[in-house]
């Protein structure tokens, strides 16, 4: 039974449109899975269909080729894609980048990039993580120094998904070093800046990292050696990147929550169908045993709770609530979703017994994807730190 969330007609239409868009691809799921696994091949056909159904324009107004349907609409789209067994892939960073550019960029930068993002002609990835900073974004060291009409960037990034297929990366760097900030008595949250970088530029060396996930995206370690970026590609004001970053990270967490909800529903559907048909003792389906049915019932309850929190977070973003408040909902949605996805896939594997480990059933492939969301894009520990500090007012240990 599907629960009624009293979504608007427009939101329900998004759901049904995405579902119909995916229908012709469903019989070809195995083909997509094999292309992703064996060749890491980017699914251009799916990408075009995501654009045609309007998903890339949800966070953009008509003026820039978007449809302004909002993050809740996009969240529903993400859920549908994942429930159907596909991956939004690069659409996650593409959408979060479009929100960041729209909310912070100059008119000139919006006109240059947003129509191509809404139509899917341009693809965007996102690059913030550095090997020596990790979770602590304020510790990043990649520096951009102004030189005439350009900035010159030196440093490195790691785990950057889809850098090989993206046309541009939204790159987070420092324009003031931590040492300079300390000398000037400024907080370490200052001095971050965001640039749009052409991924094919000279001065970038990319090395793939071997991470056997089941989607088509490869992660890269990047080295920047005197990378020249036009000053016009600065998003927002130099040194004010932290607030601009919030406009990206909140949608990213909410959409990650939606992916987890979709993944969990897909696993639960498989488990329930199998539990109804599989008989091992006498003529009793295994779903009659409470050892099988109770974990699945718990997943169902957790699923609806995570879904509600994800919608709540998307609604808060669409209503333009203050980014810190949206951040609270976004973090909660991401944590509930990630815990749920792990539990759902694990219970579904348990229900399937040995079959749960076969590639054809697809659960063992889903496992690494579900587990990833406990760690990325923000780890479970850092979400708990955020809630303890900002919502409970508890002291910080780090």
Ligand X SMILES: Cc1cc2nc3c(=O)[nH]c(=O)nc-3n(C[C@H](O)[C@H](O)[C@H](O)COP(=O)(O)OP(=O)(O)OC[C@H]3O[C@@H](n4cnc5c(N)ncnc54)[C@H](O)[C@@H]3O)c2cc1C
Q: Tokens representing 34?
A: 């094999």
Q: Tokens representing 168?
A: 């541009």
For the bound state, the minimum distance from the C-beta of residue 255 to ligand X, rounded and expressed in Å, comes to 13
Exactly one of 4, 282, 290, 398 binds ligand X (CB under 6 A); that residue is: 398
Strand stretches in the chain, DSSP E: 124-127, 143-147, 150-161, 168-174, 192-198, 204-209, 219-230, 234-235
Query: CA 89 to CA 165: how far, in whole Å?
Result: 11
Query: CA 204 to CA 127: how far, in whole Å?
Result: 13
Q: Tokens representing 300?
A: 């169902």
The shares of helix, strand and coil residues in the chain, as percent rounded to the nearest 5, are 55, 15, 30
Exactly one of 142, 218, 219, 347 binds ligand X (CB under 6 A); that residue is: 219
Exactly one of 25, 50, 78, 126 binds ligand X (CB under 6 A); that residue is: 126
For the bound state, the minimum distance from the C-beta of residue 137 to ligand X, rounded and expressed in Å, comes to 9
Is 42 one of the binding residues for ligand X (CB under 6 A)? no
Exactly one of 56, 114, 128, 313 binds ligand X (CB under 6 A); that residue is: 128
For the bound state, the minimum distance from the C-beta of residue 19 to ligand X, rounded and expressed in Å, comes to 27
For the bound state, the minimum distance from the C-beta of residue 138 to ligand X, rounded and expressed in Å, comes to 12
Query: CA 299 to CA 343: how far, in whole Å?
Result: 7
For the bound state, the minimum distance from the C-beta of residue 60 to ligand X, rounded and expressed in Å, comes to 21
For the bound state, the minimum distance from the C-beta of residue 296 to ligand X, rounded and expressed in Å, comes to 28
Exactly one of 86, 159, 168, 311 binds ligand X (CB under 6 A); that residue is: 159
- Would you give the distance in Å from CA 254 to the centre of its chain? 8
Is 227 one of the binding residues for ligand X (CB under 6 A)? no
- What H or E segment, with its residue span, contains residue 159? strand 150-161
Exactly one of 16, 184, 375, 391 binds ligand X (CB under 6 A); that residue is: 375
Is 132 one of the binding residues for ligand X (CB under 6 A)? no
Size of the site for ligand X (CB under 6 A): 24
Query: CA 126 to CA 41: how far, in whole Å?
Result: 19
Q: Tokens representing 256?
A: 């990650």
- What are the residues binding ligand X (CB under 6 A)? 93, 125-129, 134-135, 159-161, 211, 213, 219, 372, 375-379, 381-382, 385, 398
């Amino acid at each position: 039974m599907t629960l009624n969330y009293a979504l608007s007609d427009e939101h329900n239409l998004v759901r049904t449109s995405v579902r119909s868009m995916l229908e012709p691809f469903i019989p070809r799921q195995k083909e997509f899975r094999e292309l992703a696994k064996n060749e890491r091949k980017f699914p251009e056909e799916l990408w075009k269909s995501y654009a045609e159904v309007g998903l890339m324009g949800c966070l953009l107004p008509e003026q820039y080729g978007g449809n302004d349907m909002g993050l809740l609409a996009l969240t529903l789209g993400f859920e549908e894609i994942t429930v159907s067994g596909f991956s939004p892939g690069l659409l996650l960073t593409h959408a979060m980048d479009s929100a960041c550019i729209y909310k912070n960029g100059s008119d000139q930068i919006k006109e240059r990039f947003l129509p191509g993002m809404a139509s899917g002609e341009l693809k965007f990835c996102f690059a913030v993580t550095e090997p020596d900073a990790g979770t602590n974004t304020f510790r990043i060291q990649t520096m951009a120094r102004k030189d005439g009409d350009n900035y010159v960037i030196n440093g490195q990034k790691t785990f950057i998904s889809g850098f090989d297929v993206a046309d541009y990366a939204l790159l987070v760097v420092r324009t003031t070093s931590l040492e300079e900030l300390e000398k000037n008595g400024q907080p370490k949250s200052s001095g971050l800046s965001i640039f749009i970088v052409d991924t094919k530029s000279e001065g970038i060396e990319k090395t793939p990292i071997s991470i056997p996930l089941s989607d088509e995206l490869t992660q890269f370690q990047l080295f920047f050696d005197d990378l020249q970026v036009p000053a016009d590609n600065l998003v927002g004001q130099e040194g004010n990147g932290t607030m601009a970053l919030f406009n990206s990270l909140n949608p990213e967490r909410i959409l990650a929550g939606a992916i987890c909800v979709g993944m969990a529903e897909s696993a639960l559907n498989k488990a329930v169908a199998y539990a109804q048909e599989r008989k091992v003792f006498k003529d009793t389906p295994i779903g009659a045993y409470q050892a099988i049915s109770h974990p699945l019932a718990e997943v169902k309850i957790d699923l609806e709770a995570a879904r509600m929190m994800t919608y709540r977070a998307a609604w808060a973003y669409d209503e333009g609530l203050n980014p810190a408040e949206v951040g609270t909902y976004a973090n909660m949605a991401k944590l509930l979703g990630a815990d749920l996805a792990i539990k759902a896939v694990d219970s579904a594997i348990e229900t399937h017994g040995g079959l749960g480990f076969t590639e054809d059933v697809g659960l063992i492939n889903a496992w690494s994807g579900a587990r990833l969301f406990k760690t990325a894009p923000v780890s479970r520990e850092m979400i708990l730190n955020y809630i303890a500090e900002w919502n409970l007012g508890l002291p910080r240990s780090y």
